[in-house]
A = this chain, B = another copy of it.
Amino acid sequence: MPALHHQDSVFVLDLGADENRFSPDWLDDVHAALDTVVDGSAPAALVTTGSARFYSNGLDLDWLSAHGDQAQSYVADVQALLARVLTLPVPAVAAVNGHAFGAGAMLAMAHDFRVMRADRGYFCFPEADIDIPFTAGMAALIQAKLTPSAAIASMTTGRRFGGTDARDLGLVDDVAPEAELRDRAVERVRALAGKDRGTLGAIKSTMFAAAAAALHG
């Protein structure tokens, strides 16, 4: 279950202690947490992280296989969350504490910044191996955040990147030992928490207009 905590002006959203897959309930909980984060006008910034071995494994394939008739609206809901984080009106950083796979890795990419645990966990787009091509919106999101060579290396290979490799390729901005990960992520956005939400939201919405439009279908 996602849970939101305060650390001064920085909100830390714990995505959960299991695989943190995007079930419909999980999506609702995350949206509700984001409502709290962006509400009002006091300084605020967002850190997301998981509390066990996973950041997030992405799509809830169990739920999806049991609700095949809702696949289209489910993917639209996932993409709406990605678009919301991409254009969130407060600074946002993913503290990638463990495995980030598929849509879980996309959620990390939607943040302004990413810090990843150095010694364990993989950052991976497995789409090329599980025969689920990226939607136009998902590809646009990832490509809006990476150099072309990093996009090709990660999106066409299914390769699993440990923290250091992910940083060297630019999938994440920094790595940290597990014990320092959350603090390092907090440090990255704390000084930015005072930005005006309307301004920052407008800046991100302008910068990523094409990807956000593609995510909204």
Q: Which residues of A contact B (CB under 8 A)?
A: 91, 112-113, 127-129, 131-136, 139, 143-149, 151-152, 155-158, 170, 173, 192, 195-196, 198-200, 202-204, 206-207, 209
Question: Are B156's CB and A204's CB within 8 A?
Answer: yes
* Contacts A133-B202, A135-B206, A156-B203 known; 20 new A-B pairs at CB < 8 A: A91-B157, A112-B152, A127-B199, A127-B203, A128-B199, A128-B200, A129-B195, A131-B196, A131-B198, A134-B206, A134-B207, A139-B203, A139-B206, A145-B149, A146-B148, A147-B147, A147-B170, A151-B207, A155-B203, A156-B200
Q: Choose from B157, B192, B202 the contact partner of A192 (Cβ within 8 Å).
A: B157
Question: Are A133's CB and B192's CB within 8 A?
Answer: no
Bound complex: CA A144 to CA B146 (Å): 12
Q: Choose from B155, B170, B206 the contact partner of A136 (Cβ within 8 Å).
A: B206
Bound complex: CA A151 to CA B206 (Å): 12
Bound complex: CA A60 to CA B128 (Å): 36
Question: Are A91's CB and B148's CB within 8 A?
Answer: no
Residues of B within 8 Å of A146, CB to CB, are: 148
Closest-CB distance, A134 to chain B (whole angstroms): 6
Question: Are B132's CB and A149's CB within 8 A?
Answer: no
Residues of B within 8 Å of A173, CB to CB, are: 149
Residues of B within 8 Å of A131, CB to CB, are: 196, 198-199
